[in-house]
Amino acid sequence: MLKIAARLHQCNNYIDIMAIWIPTLDDRKGPKYLQIVDAMAEDIRIGKLTAGTRLLPHRELAYQLGISANTTSRAYAEGVKRALLRAEVGRGTYVRSPDTAAPGGELNTLLRSGAESGPVDLSRNLPFPGFAEVYIQDVFASLGSMTGVSALLDYQTKDDLARHLEAGKIWLESCGLQAETGSVLSTMGGQHGLLCSLMALLRPGDLLLTEALTYMPVCALADALGAKTGSVEMDEEGVLPEAFEEACRTSKPKAFYLTPTLQSPTTVTLSDMRRQAIADIAEKYNVFLIEDDVFGPLKTDSPAPLAMKAPDRTFYISSLSKSVAPGLRVGFLSAPHRLMPALRQAVNLSVWMTPPLNLEIATRLILEGTARELSHQQSMLAARRQRLARSVLGEIPYKADPHGFHLWLPLGDEIKADVFRSQCSQMGVLVSEARHFTAHHGKAREAIRICLSHEIEEARVRQGLEKINYLFHETGKRIILDL
Ligand SMILES: Cc1ncc(COP(=O)(O)O)c(C=O)c1O
């Protein structure tokens, strides 16, 4: 009897102190052990997993998840490395208290700040939300009394409507590009412009070059079209012309996709000299250029677009998403005249046409000068957030443009980007690590991108930056040294 009671008592104790924590991994990507650690960090952050909780032995968790014990053991080791867990010999693995990760409780206070309103999202490179609303409501009102609405309700199978194209031309001019009307067409935003450019240019087996750190959907699109991708090295000032030339010489690319202005993630704007060099090399080796200028409207002092230097071989992609409203889904694309039929076909095949009603709204905003004004406001707000970032991050050597939406923070060799991102996430701040922008399976750098524009409240952005500042100076380095 006694034996049974003792067992029951033990059993109750066991149930009391050991949480049956089984992570939900459904939507997570990447190696399994990191999925487990990320889920753990998230659950600690939202309070689902509390300090002092003892986790299941790794073999048991492995059994519950249907994976190998090696994987769960690696996950627990990584959790210890990230200061989420402490392992006690012969006793088990426990969730670590934030206080023990930061003597003095400073981390604990920071951790708690803002937790009630969800994570501060500094991971998305989007415009300041809600700005266009009042202007678009005015346009809606004026559309109500418009005559000739039926023209907007038909299929536009050949060209866009003339007045929409005229607006496109004006928009492109405001981005520094002089284009003939016959070389302009509308798209459903920059991403669609990119898809159509690739459809018009690439055949299976062709090689598309990108910058070493790039907008990754371009690689997925090329892949879907059966093309290969390769990357061109960059330095502090952006893509290296000599690396582009070397790639042209050795691997005969069909096209080179790049973002010369306010590049994401590096924030760099390519100098006029480098633009000229890229245009000359493209000419010499007969390579097309795909110039993504979706951020261009935010920066009025950037050098002339590549499309002005190599008009016969450049696809120039612009969009109203980053400066007016992404939900409009309107962009304009300019390309060499001879390639326009292929581009129109790509638009037809992918979406038939850019929705004329959306185009009408964009056209009105452009013709009234509102679109330009909205870009200006976005750019001014970005400048204000950049000043805020400087005041919080002080001397931390990050890269930024005074009118850009984001920062690029190289972490040096001592701090690993995945660990740093995970620590940020644990403290309730979402950022993106370099791996998410690393083209062609290149070696990821240790750096993170911090976006300042998506969160509406400045106070939350400040809070997020303060946490990043803390981690950069204290926790990041200390935990790495603990390894
Ligand atoms: C570099 C770059 N190009 C294109 C796009 C897509 O823009 P859009 O919303 O106009 O499709 C994005 C969106 O984030 C981007 O960052």
In degrees rounded to 5, what are phi and psi of residue 76? -65, -40
- At the top level of CATH, the class of 12-96 is mainly alpha
Residue 108 is predicted with a pLDDT of: 54
pLDDT (mean) for 363-385 = 95
- From ligand 1's centre to the CA of 331, what distance in Å? 10
Q: Quick check: CB of 215 below 6 Å from ligand 1? A: yes
Written as one string, the DSSP assignment of 340-384 is HHHHHHHHHHHHSS--HHHHHHHHHHHHTTHHHHHHHHHHHHHHH
Residue 155: Cβ-neighbour burial (10 angstroms; 0-12, 13-18, 19+): exposed
Residue 333 is predicted with a pLDDT of: 98
Q: Quick check: CB of 319 below 6 Å from ligand 1? A: yes
Please give the number of the atom of ligand 1 that sits closest to the Cα of 191: 11
pLDDT tens for each residue of 331-350:
999 999 999 999 999 999 99
Q: Minimal CA–CA distance to 385: which of 298, 291, 314, 264?
A: 298
Cβ contact 439:231 at 8 Å: yes
What pLDDT band is residue 482 in, cutting at 50, 70 and 90?
Answer: very low
Question: In this structure, which residue's CA is closest to atom 16 in ligand 1?
Answer: 215
Residue 24 is predicted with a pLDDT of: 87
Q: Quick check: CB of 291 below 6 Å from ligand 1? A: no
Q: What percentage of the chain carries pLDDT values higher than 90? A: 62
pLDDT (mean) for 102-110 = 50
- From ligand 1's centre to the CA of 190, what distance in Å? 5
Q: Quick check: CB of 190 below 6 Å from ligand 1? A: yes
Residue 106 is predicted with a pLDDT of: 53
Residue 208 is predicted with a pLDDT of: 98
Of 64 and 195, the structure prediction assigns the larger pLDDT to 195
Residue 83 is predicted with a pLDDT of: 76
pLDDT (mean) for 11-26 = 61
- Those residues whose C-beta lies under 8 Å from the C-beta of residue 434, and which sit 6 or more positions away, are 213, 265, 417, 444, 445, 446, 447, 448, 449
Cβ contact 337:299 at 8 Å: no
What pLDDT band is residue 121 in, cutting at 50, 70 and 90?
Answer: very high
Least confident among 11-15, 324-328, 432-436: 11-15
What pLDDT band is residue 299 in, cutting at 50, 70 and 90?
Answer: very high
Q: Quick check: CB of 292 below 6 Å from ligand 1? A: yes
Interatomic CA distance for residues 426 and 118, integer angstroms: 12
Cβ contact 244:209 at 8 Å: yes
- Those residues whose C-beta lies under 8 Å from the C-beta of residue 372, and which sit 6 or more positions away, are 174, 297, 366
pLDDT (mean) for 261-275 = 98
CATH number of 133-368: 3.40.640.10
pLDDT tens for each residue of 183-199:
999 999 999 999 999 99
- At the top level of CATH, the class of 103-126+381-482 is alpha beta
- From ligand 1's centre to the CA of 278, what distance in Å? 22
Q: Which two tokens stand for residue 255?
A: 């096209």
- 332 vs 173, 185, 306, 342, 449, CA distance in Å? 11, 6, 16, 16, 27
Of the CA atoms within 13 Å of residue 435, those in its CB half-sphere come to 10
Q: Quick check: CB of 294 below 6 Å from ligand 1? A: yes
- 50 vs 20, 46, 58, 73, 455, CA distance in Å? 12, 9, 18, 20, 28
Residue 9 is predicted with a pLDDT of: 35
pLDDT at 11 over 70: no
- From ligand 1's centre to the CA of 191, what distance in Å? 5
Residue 143 is predicted with a pLDDT of: 86
- From ligand 1's centre to the CA of 294, what distance in Å? 6
The residue ranges of every structural domain in the chain are 12-96, 103-126+381-482, 133-368
Give me the chain's average pLDDT, please: 87
Supply the pTM of this predicted model. Answer: 0.78
Written as one string, the DSSP assignment of 76-136 is HHHHHHTTSEEEETTTEEEEPPHHHHSGGGHHHHHHHTTGGG--EE-----PPTTTTHHHH
Interatomic CA distance for residues 267 and 269, integer angstroms: 7
pLDDT (mean) for 163-170 = 95
What pLDDT band is residue 481 in, cutting at 50, 70 and 90?
Answer: very low
pLDDT at 10 over 50: no
- From ligand 1's centre to the CA of 174, what distance in Å? 19
pLDDT tens for each residue of 233-242:
999 999 999 9
Residue 373 is predicted with a pLDDT of: 94
pLDDT (mean) for 39-51 = 83
Q: Quick check: CB of 191 below 6 Å from ligand 1? A: yes
Q: What percentage of the chain carries pLDDT values higher than 70? A: 89
Residue 345 is predicted with a pLDDT of: 95
Residue 442 is predicted with a pLDDT of: 63
Residue 12 is predicted with a pLDDT of: 35
Residue 109 is predicted with a pLDDT of: 59
Please give the number of the atom of ligand 1 that sits closest to the Cα of 263: 1
In degrees rounded to 5, what are phi and psi of residue 279? -60, -40
Strand partners, 448: 409, 433
453 three-class SS: coil
- What are the b/e assignments for 327-354, b being 16+ CB within 10 Å? ebbbbbbbbbeebbeebbebbeeeeebb
Please give the number of the atom of ligand 1 that sits closest to the Cα of 331: 10
pLDDT at 405 over 70: yes
Interatomic CA distance for residues 222 and 241, integer angstroms: 22
Residue 4 is predicted with a pLDDT of: 32
What pLDDT band is residue 478 in, cutting at 50, 70 and 90?
Answer: very low
Helices 162-174, 356-367: crossing angle, 10 deg rounding: 50
- From ligand 1's centre to the CA of 210, what distance in Å? 15
E-strand stretches of 188-236: 207-211, 228-232, 234-235
Query: Could you tell me how many helices (H) and strands (E) the chain has, helices first?
Result: 19, 17
